[in-house]
Structure 1
Amino acid sequence: MNLKLKSMPLAVLQVVASGALSAAVVFPASAQQSQGADSGEVQRVVVTGSYISRADKETPSPVQVLTADDLKKTGYTSVSEALRDITANGQGTISQSFNRAFAGGASGISLRGLTVGATLVLIDGHRMAPYPLSDDGQRSFVDISNIPFDAIERIDILKDSASAAYGSDAIAGVVNVILKKEYKGTALSAEGGGTQAGGGRTVHVTATHGIGDVEADGYNVFGTIEYRKQDPIMLTQRAGKDWAKTNWTSEGGIDLTPGAVNAITPLPRTYQPYLYNPAGAGGAGNAANYAFYSGGCANYAALQANQCTFVDPWAQLQPKTENINVLAGFTKKLSDGWQLNVKASMLESKDSVESTPVAYPPGSYVGNTSIGPGIIPHQVGVISSFLVPANYPGNTTGAPARVYGYLTDIGARINDVDSKSYRLVAELTGNIGAWDVAAYAGYTKVETEQTYHGYVDRQALYNALNDPANPYKITGGNSADVNAKIAPVFSGKQNDELDFVDLRGTRTLTALPGGDLAISVGGTYIQKKLNAPAADQLSSGLINGNAAFVIGEEKNAAAYFELVAPVLKTLELDLSGRYDHFDTYGSSSTPKIGAKWSPSEMVTFRGTYGKGFRAPNAAENGTAGSTFSYNTIADPVLCANGPKGDPAKTVPQYCSFSPAYVQVTTKDLQPEKSKSGSFGMILEPVKGWSTTIDYYSIKIDNQIVTEASLPGYDPQYVRGTPIPLTYADGHTETPSVGPILYANSGYVNANSTKTTGVDLNSSYRFKMGEYGNLKVGLDWTHMISYTLTANGQDYQLAGTHGPTVISGDTGNPKNRAQLTLGYDKGPFNATATVNWIDSYSVLDPSTGGANDTCEDSLQNSNNYFANGNNYPTHYCRVSSFTSTNLNMAYKVNKNLTIRGSIVNLFDRQPPIDAQTYGGTSIASGTNAPYNPSLHQTGAVGRFFSLGANYTF
């Protein structure tokens, strides 16, 4: 175990070294600090991961608790922002800022870096319908950006496997969002803010009202409505920042500024298009083969001198979002100690993702892959020679010509996602004899509507360009009707429904020396219905875009039990198990055992061991399909010897391109299976100081992966009909083979992943009398190992970029830490939160050679150094990143509280990540070199907000 601290921020080191946290570990805001902690009142609560209530809130499993107050003190206004900073979050996290994601408009959490598909998100301990658009078209997850911020009572984060309690999808842990169960009175809150550098203006307003006291009146009814709007942030608003640059020539790389001529783009696309005659004598080096237009690039000399570059006005760092959340709750005391609780909500999240306009095809268009239910993948809309005629207005080349540029008259591609989540859950609790009984029934559904703007029908565009009477004007000024025919606005709708019933009973069996032997038994039935087709224009191949679709149903019946045995006053044993039956593949059993031993009041040891599983979902074994690309290749026929080969045998456009893969399902998949364990101790040497350390180990076997991600995968490409192509020497001919269209890739049970690490957390409260109170908390996660096994080969990926094939290539740092410093005196309190992310390598050894050296990573991923020159070795590692948030509040009187926050107080900039593909895409075909999943706070920059809360 190697717990190096050499690059941790000085602030964290000083706190650790001071002795205040010398025993360091887990607990910035644990359950022990919740209700009744100061009064000495003994309360029995149900802790996430267990169904049996207990007075001791520390179970054998480590649980981190974020209260509503903790969330507000982060300075954020959304759940996704707050959870992004927890130290157990890792590789595979989904960010709303990834504008090319399959699951556009959503955010997901990935505990232990095992993807969003291995983390179970619950609301009030119950399942919620997943987001209809799966991550990478495969992994099902709950959208955390859609959860109402001000309706939350607390969030429990269970950091080890919980499949025995909750079933499939809980391999890496559980995030349980507990909403307010009742409210009496009225509360109003409003806050607004914006970034110092521009963009990102945010408005957040909430109103809550409730009547009735459950104990005194026998009922409570409350409702809350929340509105949040956040403006976009464009890359142009961060111009001049090192991490936003596109010109790498000062470091020996390539000028990737849009419109620049470089080693990989001899004919760049400019803001206003120009024409080029590929058949002209002298090829690209002859100025007579070009035609330029007034108001655009002046001439050939200006183009070659990179005087026709432009700043991408469409690159988006943060999308525009809007949330409207309505929640209502009703609690009623019934006779004989029974109680009914009903909660209903409608949560709407709107997201608008903008990206570069469609470009004119450079000479030919290979078409779109038609994919959908019952459709055999095939190409649609192939245009062998995408040229404007010789008599096209302004074509001075005297021959048919290509168009190089963007359809700026149509504008940016915009994907508007409107997601509505519906939830109705009823809970009935009471006693039957010695049993505490709870019955639950729930209906949950998520509907998304994606509306597409600026997506082009290439065939319609080609016809318009070649219209002899009224040809389409590449310089702009076309009528709205003409633009609408070329780029029609269209929509697609998807929905995911999850319904459940659950019956559970808990009772004590007998007295043991340490307390009562308690048992809980129950059964649950879950039904899922997913209908997520792509928009007709995409699935038909008429328009190019994400044509992923998933359609399927799943029924899951389960029985479970839990036994808590305090066999001694110092020793507690926990045993639980679950049996699940799925109609899609069969049955699985998942046991778990835990123990907690307290040899003294100051020291407690705890540990768990369990098995888990993840059932194949509809995207993997149902009716589903998608297209994707993840690697850049040279066509083995059309560019056999690379771009420096024989010009007469080399087609430049096929020397560096990303082929399409068609993802297909596999019916006989088996579930992923896991083994997990934890061992730790809780230290409470003095009153007010709680410290824990926990070691974790999770191994997942039989992982369901796409064949294309396996090292050594040999794709069998499907080629189209041979079409005329222009070679590097300028001549045009029809080769013996057509261009690569796609390769099929099925799902297989192939890989295994094992990750181990340590969570260290500590919290201490200094009471300083008349000088107030000081609270210090540290949460630190160290990844010891992250081993991916594929094709019998082990790849150590801790501290690297691997595995890059999942969720936006988000990086896998070994260490993450969060330091919290809080001060309060009378009506005033202030909290500073320091979030630190360790450095990590750009390598990914698991890609089978594409990224196993620094040179490969820097030259293959984003083309920054694809010219083959020496590359800057300092980009071989992504630097560590530290951001500090400051939140202050002052209680003016018993009703009014004023709050102010500064996120990224010191305006720390994100480190350059030259490997990730998760950064915003730029018109030149590259990505902004920063990692939004880890360093988005730096890209946003210093953010100020001010608000007030009023209760009466």
Structure 2
Amino acid sequence: MQCKMKSLPLAVVGALTVLAVPAMAQDATANQPAVQRVVVTGSLISRADKETPAPVQVLTAEDLAKSGHTSVAEVLSSLSANGQGTLGTGFAGAFANGAAGVSLRGLTVGLTLVLIDGHRMAPYPLSDDAQRQFVDITSIPFDAVERIEVLKDGASDIYGSDAVAGVVNVILKKTYKGTSVKADVGNSQHGGGKTHKVGIISGFGDLVEDGYNAFVSAEFRHADAIKVYQRDSQFWASGDWRALGGVSQQRGVPSALNSFLAPGSSPFFYNPTGTGGVKNPANFQFLDPSCNYDKYMAGGCWVRDTVSNLQPESQNVNLLAGFTKKLGEDWTLAVKASQFRRTGINARGLPTTFSASSFTGNTALIPGQGPNIVNIYGSTVFPATYPLNKLGAPARLYGQIPDIGPDRTQDNTSTAQRLAVDLTGSWMGWDIGAAGGLTKVEVKDRYSGYVNRYALYQALNRATNPFNPLGGNSPADMAVISPRFVNVTESKLQFAELHGTRELMQLPGGPLSIATGLSWTHKDLNAPPASLLSQGVVGNGSAYAFGKETDTAAFAELAGSPVKNLETSVSARYDHYDTYGNSFTPGAKFKWTATPMLSIRGTFAKGFRAPNAAEVGTASAFFSFHGIDDPILCKDGNPKTAGNVPSACGYTPTFVQLTTKDLQPETSKSYTLGAILEPSRDINASLDYYKIDVRNQINTASGLPGFVPSYVRNQPFPVDIADGKGGTVQGIPSVGTIAYATSGYVNAGRTMTTGAELDLRARHRFGDLGTGRAELVLTHMISYQITNAGTTVELAGTHGPAVIGGDTGSPKNRANLTLGWDRGPMSLTATVNWVDSYSALDPAQGAAAMDCSHAASVVGNRNYFFGSVTPPQFCRISSFATTDLNLSYKLSPNLTLRGSILNLFDKQPPIDVATYGNSGALTAYNASLHQSGAVGRFFSMGLNYQF
């Protein structure tokens, strides 16, 4: 007999999760099971009614299985409430490489709290945008999940920091009796993404009969990468926009955007001072006879990208063990230990090339030191006496550096370890819950494909046995020029919680109950930078963050029914942080059952997000987000004006992010008001309005209107300078090019979002024909406004705010429609996931009043594809809908066969030229919203045997 955990965790912060009403193993033969009271996410007090005052969406283990997916991250990414700022594995350039996070209401992963069994988990040590901490959902085991509860309301009054937009509570199995073995295989129709998954869970002991239960769950999942080249027959992945008047981003194809100097299949020397410039074949010398000037200019020397990922290779090995023991009639001890390991191989696909202009150095970013420009050694122009240079004049070398192997990669292994102990029982009329736990996430990154350019140019200019641009160089040379290195970061979180609940008295409408408790949470982040990057040896310094914080909190909730059919509750929480001080967050809820068919509900809550180590600790990072014209080297913004440096026009400067020690927490107020209609047992509908107002937001100062950066410049070196006649000459400008500018964090800005959500569920029995079921969850964003320096912009239905989490976009509408049919041993489920269309503009960057075709320098990556003019058909991203089909059939009482087709109709993703949150300049689709389109039709089959 399989025992299922029926209770839900309490709160993340008080021992809210282990209530004295926790798991109850129910006898499958019982005819009339007693009404069970459970604790639902968002409250401390148990209840019998599944419809709570706050909107909560529940995904059961059965729902997960019927989705056709095999990972928690895939399921949560399609939530209609998941929006702007969500983080997916398709974003190759993310700071939080390889991880995925949820962003409820589009308020970023940092304002959505993710719990496991109602308790906090250590955050991923690599923060989103090097700022926002979140829990990586890719490492959560799929088969060990009992259910997932998504609270779509602010809940800092119960859970504390981060629960501003809502809470995702992943409840793992608490008890299990018997053995279940699952095996799944899947493959994409268009190549790549082949998936294998095997899971086993086995347990023994009955809590009622034996007084204990113990189980172990193990899961292995491996998914092959999906490469860009496996989809490059599709326009959105081809990188070639010439047919529409744009340019090609394919490697080695010359265009105006790369000054017709594109490293391709053959390295070549180019004389920048020769007559006619790039229009004169005499200025080029190709070192490989397979390429010549005419072939090169026609794009015939391009190199296919076989490295970049649309979806990285990943592997999960998850282990979970649980032991539950009844200590007496009223007391139960539950211990759960787990290790979730995810390995991802993420090739960035950036061509490793010889420097195309003067080498001005890298910026070192070492903890405890200010930014420092290092490895400066001069021009990359090779003299006429250089042995390989046959042009008779100083020349530059263009081409991809040979012998490095695959392009730049970052193999990422994340190991999440967790030990949680829960003790529940009754004492002197109180239901007591005590909990404690240790959690840790370690990430090991293995880097390859990076270049020590100082060593490279020394090797190129050696008097004897110089580095050969055509390849065949010694392993000893390559070990110095392209070293492999490893970096380890870790995040720890410990917690202890104690709470109690009891009934105080009877009110006219029912009991008055109280819950109160204490919690203690300690975080420790140790995320050093990769040493060779930090020192500026193989590039600009990488992000780092160090810091500790301790939160001590007290909380309470009072719930009762002062009159019949009216349910009310008030709650409050007081947090003391050793980093900034105190936060007090109250909340209130009500639910009025006007008739058996109609209920009205509403909530109010204050919330907060405490500044984290990346913002107030010892931390720094590089970032860039918009293009500028260098105020000195490109004064009028015209790259052809005499004296201007063309590469300084439309330039995206680098910023060094600094911490600010005296930051205060972000604060919020959230409201919901809704109605629940239940005309029969088989039809249920709810419609809820929400409003979340976040103030005092922690933003980088450089993103605020009126910010005037102070640029640090490189030393002046020879560069191309416009001659005013359409060409360039080599010269030394009056000042060096921009290396970086610094920016601190500030409490400034406000985000306010409003919307409505419809949840409609219906079931109908058709006698011997079976049972039909349907569920529609539709989220409509009414408004999404951000305010900075007194200026408010509306972003609902646009691509803004582009500076957050890979530029996901803010479509107004998302929906999930599930249709099912159950008959005897068969269950058929079809799920339609729909994302509305939205504008490619980001009004937050000043583009609201601009015509889309002229917004290239403001919005996303348009200049990658079209330069300054974008065809109007790409100024709006089309709506997108995919259909997933899943069929399960019980071949016997113990054996179940499952088959699914994801993206049944093989819908391609809509073209999105604005986003940067994908696999780079070659692709033009939104990996956060439309990843299933990039994968294409996907088939899978599975078997489940229980005994």
- Seen in structure 2, the aligned counterparts of structure 1 residues 46 and 38 have a Cα distance that, compared at 3 Å, is farther
- Please say if residues 266 and 301 of structure 2, whose CA atoms lie closer than 8 Å, have aligned partners that are also in contact: no
State whether structure 2 residue 89 is matched by structure 1 residue 90.
Answer: no
For 1:903 and 1:188, the matched residues in 2 are separated by 23
Aligned to 2:887: 888
Aligned to 1:758: 756
Q: Which amino acid aligns with 1:488?
A: P
1:507 pairs with 2:505: no
Cα distance in 2 for partners of 1:686, 1:277 equals 81
Match for 1:186 among 179, 196, 213? 179
How far residue 262 of structure 1 moved from its aligned partner, in angstroms, is 1.7
Retained in 1: the 8 A contact 2:237–2:922?
A: no
What is the alpha-carbon distance in structure 2 between the residues aligned to residue 852 and residue 370 of structure 1? 38
In the alignment, the residues of structure 2 paired with residue 850 and residue 566 of structure 1 have an alpha-carbon distance, to the nearest angstrom, of: 50
Q: CA deviation at 1:430?
A: 0.6
Report the counterpart of residue 12 of structure 1 in structure 2: none
| Alignment partner, residue 844 of structure 1 | 842
- Measured in 2, the distance between the counterparts of 1:629 and 1:271 equals 30
Q: Which residue of structure 1 lines up, in the alignment, with residue 804 of structure 2?
A: 806
How far residue 287 of structure 1 moved from its aligned partner, in angstroms, is: 1.9
| 1: CA distance, partners of 2:856 / 2:646 | 21
1:314-342: CA deviations, max 9, x gaps? 22101010110000000000024110000
Aligned-pair distance for 1:546? 5.9
Equivalent residue in structure 2 for 1:742, among 737, 740, 743: 740
Mapped pair 1:335 → 2:333: no
* C-alpha distance in structure 2 between counterparts of 1:654 and 1:273, whole Å: 25
2:9 corresponding residue in structure 1? none
Q: Residue 3 of structure 1 aligns with which residue?
A: none
Deviation at 1:393?
4.8
Report which stretch shifted further, 49-58 or 126-135: 49-58
Offset of residue 652 of structure 1: 2.6
**Aligned residue type for 1:728:** A
Q: Is the deviation greater in 278-287 or in 832-841?
A: 278-287
The correspondence for 2:655, drawn from 654, 661, 670, is: 661
Give the total of aligned pairs: 914
Following superposition, the deviation at residue 303 of structure 1 comes to 2.1
Equivalent in 532, 546, 549 of residue 544 of structure 2 = 549
Q: 1:221 aligns with which of 209, 214, 218?
A: 214
Aligned residue in 2 for 1:255: 248
Please tell me the root mean square deviation across aligned C-alpha atoms, in Å.
Answer: 1.8
The 1:865/1:505 distance shift into structure 2, 3 A limit, reads closer
* More deviation, 375-384/688-697: 375-384
1:907 counterpart = 2:906: yes
Structure 1 counterpart of 2:844, one-letter code: S
> Which residue number in structure 1 is paired with residue 15 of structure 2?
none
Q: Which amino acid aligns with 1:760?
A: L
Paired position in structure 1 for 2:269: 275
- Counterpart secondary structure, 2:558: strand
Instruction: Name 1:607's counterpart in structure 2.
Output: 602
1:442 positional shift: 0.5
Q: 1:392 Cα shift?
A: 4.2
> Counterparts of 2:870 and 2:232 in 1: how far apart (Å)?
24
On the 8 A contact 1:705/1:749 being kept in 2, the answer is: yes
Q: Structure 2: any 5+ residue segments left out of the alignment?
A: 1-21
The Cα shift of 1:371 comes to: 1.1
Aligned residue for 1:202? 195
Q: Matches of 1:606 and 1:388 in 2, distance apart?
A: 74
Any conservation in 1 of the 2:856–2:867 contact (CA below 8 Å)?
A: no
Q: 1:147: Cα distance to partner?
A: 0.4
1:446 maps to amino acid:
V
**Equivalent residue number for residue 784 of structure 1:** 782
Which residue matches 2:875?
876
Work out whether residues 253 and 869 of structure 1, in 8 Å CA contact, stay in contact via their aligned partners in 2: no
Residues 897 and 943, structure 2, Cα contact 8 Å, conserved in 1: yes
Is the 2:125–2:443 Cα contact (8 Å) retained in structure 1? yes
Distance 2:868 2:571 in 1: 59
Out of 687, 693, 698, the position equivalent to 2:692 is 698
CA contact (8 A) 1:850 1:857 kept: no
1:75 paired with 2:106, answer no
**Greater mean alpha carbon deviation, residues 269-278 or residues 896-905:** 269-278
| Alignment partners' CA distance in 2, 1:474 and 1:99 | 28
Shift of 1:61: 0.6
Aligned to 2:412: 417
Offset at residue 642 of structure 1 (A): 3.3
Letter in 1 for 2:237: A
Greater alpha carbon shift after TM alignment, 525-534 vs 723-732: 723-732
Q: Distance in 2 between matches of 1:570 and 1:891?
A: 43
SS of 2:278's equivalent in the other structure is helix
Distance (whole Å) between structure 1 residues aligned to residue 346 and residue 824 of structure 2: 45
Residue 445 of structure 2 aligns with an amino acid whose one-letter code is: Q
Which whole-Å CA distance do the structure 2 matches of 1:546 and 1:687 have between them? Answer: 60
Alignment deviations for residues 571-625 of structure 1 (CA, whole Å, 9 cap, x no partner): 0111000000000000010000001000111000000011111111111111110
1:124 to 114, 117, 122: 117
From 722, 728, 750, the equivalent of 1:728 is 722
Q: Any conservation in 2 of the 1:252–1:870 contact (CA below 8 Å)?
A: no
Correspondence for 2:765 = 767
Matched, 1:45 2:38: yes
User: Is 1:454 matched up with 2:452?
Assistant: no
**Aligned residue among 704, 712, 718 for 2:706:** 712
Within 5 Å, give how 1:269-668 maps onto structure 2: 269-296=263-290, 298-355=291-348, 356-410=350-404, 411-544=406-539, 547-647=542-642, 649-668=643-662
Cα shift at 1:709? 1.6
- Output aligned runs, 1:795-834, within 5 Å: 795-834=793-832
1:159 aligns with 2:152: yes
Which consecutive residues of structure 1, in runs of 5 or more, have no partner in the other structure? 1-30
Whole-angstrom distance in 1 between the partners of 2:892 and 2:539: 59
Partner in structure 1 of residue 138 of structure 2 = 145
DSSP 3-state at the match of 1:597: strand
Tell me the SS of whatever aligns to 2:929: helix
Of residues 298-307 and 189-198 in structure 1, the stretch that sits farther from structure 2 once superposed is 298-307
Q: Which moved more, 1:696-705 or 1:847-856?
A: 847-856
Give 1:927 shift: 4.2
CA distance in 1, matches of 2:705, 2:842: 11
* Secondary structure at the counterpart of residue 824 of structure 1: strand
Q: Distance in 2 between matches of 1:515 and 1:755?
A: 36
C-alpha separation in 1, matches of 2:608 and 2:353: 45
Matched residue of 1:213: which SS? Answer: coil
CA drift of 1:358 comes to 1.9
SS in 2 for 1:813: coil
1:214 counterpart SS class: coil
Q: What TM-score, normalized by structure 2, do the two folds share? A: 0.94
Kindly provide the amino acid, as one letter, of the partner of residue 366 in structure 1: T
The 2-side partners of 1:97 and 1:710 are apart by: 29
Per the TM alignment, residue 641 of structure 1 is displaced from its structure 2 partner at its CA by: 3.1
Whether contact under 8 Å (1:88, 1:112) holds in the other structure is: yes
Return the offset for 1:521: 0.2
User: Given that residues 650 and 857 in structure 2 are in contact (C-alpha distance below 8 angstroms), is that contact kept between their aligned partners in structure 1?
Assistant: no
Cα distance in structure 1, aligned partners of 2:183 and 2:105: 35
CA distance in 2, matches of 1:870, 1:810: 22
Q: Which string of whole-angstrom CA distances, capped at 9 and with x for unpartnered residues, describes residues 444-466 of structure 1?
A: 00001111011111111111111
Deviation digits for residues 487-523 of structure 1 (CA, Å, limit 9, x no counterpart): 1110111110000000000000001122211000000
